Amino acid sequence: MTYIQELNEKFTLPGSLMFNQQKNDLIFIHISNQYADAKISLYGAQVISFKPKDEHDILWVSPMSKYEVGKAIRGGIPVCFPWFGPHKSDPARPQHGLARLINWQVTETASLSNGETLVRLELHSSPQTKVYWPYDFSAAMTFTVGKTLTVTLKITNTSRIQFDYSCALHSYYNLSAIEDISIEGLHGARFHKNNEPGDFIQDTTKLKINQMEDRNYYNTEATCIIKDLKFKRKISVAKAGSKVTTVWNPGAVNCARMEDMPNEAYRRFICIEAVNSFDNTICLTPGESHETSAIIGLMD
């Protein structure tokens, strides 16, 4: 029996969840319930699609994304762990850590009493992970697909010593056009820009994106709202267990330099990320755990 057959025999939920193998033999979970359709890659434990019924997909994935082991999938909700951004001391190590470059294991699927669908994937420290990060850990990604999508990363320290880590749920949101959206929820929040000195304060109620942006808002647990005029919808982006919110768009020049994005792709997405990094890095003693969640959905 092949691995895909084993997964379907053990974890399929008739009528709502199944597995298939495609894109260079990567395995995907397909979910369809009364609320939404969703797609999750075991490679990287990454949500690829979340589409409420009769709506445009809430998430964006590059049509030029690499679906290859060793390369990150561009879009959806990549999992950044155990560091966010470049490695502090070794820039040759993978951007945003190792979690999005490894196949995770399925440990649970369930149809909940309210009609939602639950999936749990796990990743444990191994010789493969210790090439990049020397600690013992257990990571679990839990996805609940319903009217909203809840994604939770739980990290447990299974080492004999404490460790620090940073992480992010690096969500890419699907837009009609970048010039037709605004972001609310960050008014009054302090932020810094990557590669620029000093701090700034968000002094407007609405953030408009009209250039490259890489803003890290700190000491904020606020829910953000993406208002999209042409799609005529509002996306709610809530979070838990995170006090840093990153807003990122590469802009035209940087987008054109990226091999896994069309030149105009920057107009079709915005990243609003639940982050633990900078002054919100997580320190775990042996046996301790921390959870970081993103809660995504459309507002009525």
Token pair for residue 87? Answer: 């490695």
Q: What is the pTM of this model?
A: 0.97
Nearest to 46 by CA among 170, 138, 146, 130: 170
Burial of 184 by CB count in 10 Å (0-12 exposed, 13-18 middle, 19+ buried)?
middle
Rounded Cα–Cα distance for residues 277 and 113 (Å): 36
Rounded Cα–Cα distance for residues 69 and 101 (Å): 7
Q: Which residue has the tokens 């010789």?
A: 127
Sign of CA dihedral 243, 76, 31, 52: positive
pLDDT per residue as tens, the chain (300 positions):
799 999 999 999 999 999 999 878 899 999 999 999 999 999 999 999 999 999 999 999 999 998 999 999 999 999 999 999 999 889 889 999 999 999 999 999 999 999 999 999 999 999 999 999 999 999 999 999 999 999 999 999 999 999 999 999 999 999 999 999 999 999 999 999 987 889 999 999 999 999 999 999 999 999 999 999 999 999 999 999 999 999 999 999 999 999 999 999 999 999 999 999 999 999 999 999 999 999 999 998
The three-class DSSP label of residue 9 is helix
Domain boundaries, the chain: 54-298
Give me the CATH topology for the region 54-298. Beta-galactosidase; Chain A, domain 5 (2.70.98)
The three-class DSSP label of residue 195 is coil
